[in-house]
Structure 1
Amino acid sequence: MTEGNFVDYVKIHVTSGNGGKGSAHLHREKYIAKGGPDGGDGGRGGHVIIRGQSNLWTLLHLKFKRHAKAGHGEHGGKSRSTGADGEDVYIDVPLGTVVRDTETNDIIFEIIEEGEEKIIAEGGKGGLGNWHFKTATNQTPRYAQPGLPLEEKHITLELKVLADVGLVGFPNAGKSTLLSVITSAKPKIADYEFTTLKPNLGIVKYRDFQTFVMADIPGIIEGAAEGKGLGYYFLRHIERNSVLLFLIPADADDIKKQYDILLDELRRYNPEMLDKERIIAISKCDLLDDELKEELKEELDNELPIPYVFISSVAQQGITELKDILWKILNN
């Protein structure tokens, strides 16, 4: 999937259907001049329903479809005939989609399971026909209920990528290169900051035909939690990941400081993200000779509070060890 085809934010106007009117019909037939009430009920208005689909990875199919309108319920007929229900409209979304009220920005619900269906705009209930109102003292009611009106809403759909492992790091830390090596994904790779503008997903093949999903998230900069850089546009994608893999290049001025800045941005965005399992991958280790690597290990053993591993995506060093550690954490 190309970068331009990854759509993770759309606004839609949804309208359900009106309920059909109940009928006030009176029974008329040859030789029966004054039959009783036999008006049927109106049909229910159509719902607008959000449905989860595991084969969708983006909201691209909704980019140019900004209105969803369900059918109206039909009116009741004679002989207690109930009107047909209005046609329901389904909006299929990828798993991990958050549905918000556009006006208040409140979360209405989230879709996280295959086939999960939730009504976003409920169709109006059909009105009752006049035969419901027949009593001993009012045997020919000439009135019936109108149907209930439709619901209308402006909603925002936000996709939060569902992945087992999320890559976290500063721009140009080598996240896309690692993803291209460890999975079959083909992200854009170049030697400048913010090469990645949208999340990329890749499936990591492990032993015995087992797999897990890794997401390359656009790079974090200081102040991202306040909206600097790409701000919320990528931080929300990290919320769904089970494990956070911090990628810090071996030639960084201060590895511990970079880790602390990244962690602080996540904490300021959502403190719950600190509850996730974390691991650090020191990338570009092919730049280090054995002596430098040993010195760095001694330093990091004292400074880093979580496990770390040396890797080189270009030289294919430490990749198997990284997979082993990630698999072990995911299956604890």
Structure 2
Amino acid sequence: MELQEAPNAGAWGEWNPTEDSARPPRGKHRVVKQRGGLARSSTVLGVGVIAAVGASGIATAQDRPQVAISMPSLPDFGLGGAGGDGQHADAEGPAAGAEAATKTGIIAQQAAGHADAGATLVGRILQQAESQESAADAQTRAQAERAAQEAAAAQAKAQRETAQKEADDARVAAEKEAKEAAEAKAEQERIAKLAGSYSLPTSAYTLTSHYGDAGSMWSSGYHTGLDFAAPTGTPVKAVAGAKITSAGWSGAYGYRIVLELEDGTEIWYCHLSSMSVTSGSVGAGETIGRVGATGNVTGPHLHLEVRKGGSTMDPLAWLESKGLSV
């Protein structure tokens, strides 16, 4: 900076300042040493604006015109302040730059912190979604497994019930078969026992007329007994142990003997040629007369009737029920 000549230099003469005359005045008119605060504040402000624009993503440094930051020229006054040559600014430059860099780093760190927080939130949301999806899949698998177990249990129960029913049916069938076999055996034993107690009424015979046969030769219109055709004189035997209740002539029946069994059943022997026993009791197989052709007949035969309670019954069925093969 050039020093201009002061007015009225001729009157006062030339003034050359010395070290003493240039010393700053004391008291309230003392000039405060400038620390470059304006330069530092401007620098920080510019850096903060650039960092804020860069962090927010609203605009970039390229989108706006460059801002020129001017440094004012201040007198040094010999105190080492910032002069026009910027030496003081250079002296304060590293500290101001470090402070600005520190503030810029804080802003970047805050922006990075916000970015990290957002990424963390997104990660948590994705993790929660995956957890919910896994829980849904686990529940679906559990329901499927439970349904499969219930179906298997129902199938096993049905199989058990079917097997139990088959076993019960087989048991019932076996019991029925065993009962029928026992009954058949008992019937055979009974018949065998009765066979020893009963006897056929005659031998060497031919069955000619059966019970219930219709014809005009019988007064009732049908045959009431069973005819054993045999030669005259063939022996006639008592079918079971019995007593003789009647013996003699009986009209169309010719000579007839009536036996009464213990149960009240009556056995009539008709058309006899002769009677060997006419009273008393007889045993099974004992001869009581002989075959003949007396009464209303067309040839020699034994007409055998079985009566119970005054009514006739089929002699063939009765004899077979006693174990006799007629």
Bigger radius of gyration, 1 or 2?
2
Question: Normalising to structure 1: TM-score of the pair?
Answer: 0.16
Higher helix share: 2
Larger RCO: Structure 1 or Structure 2 (Cα < 8 Å, ≥ 6 residues apart)?
A: 1
Higher strand share: 1
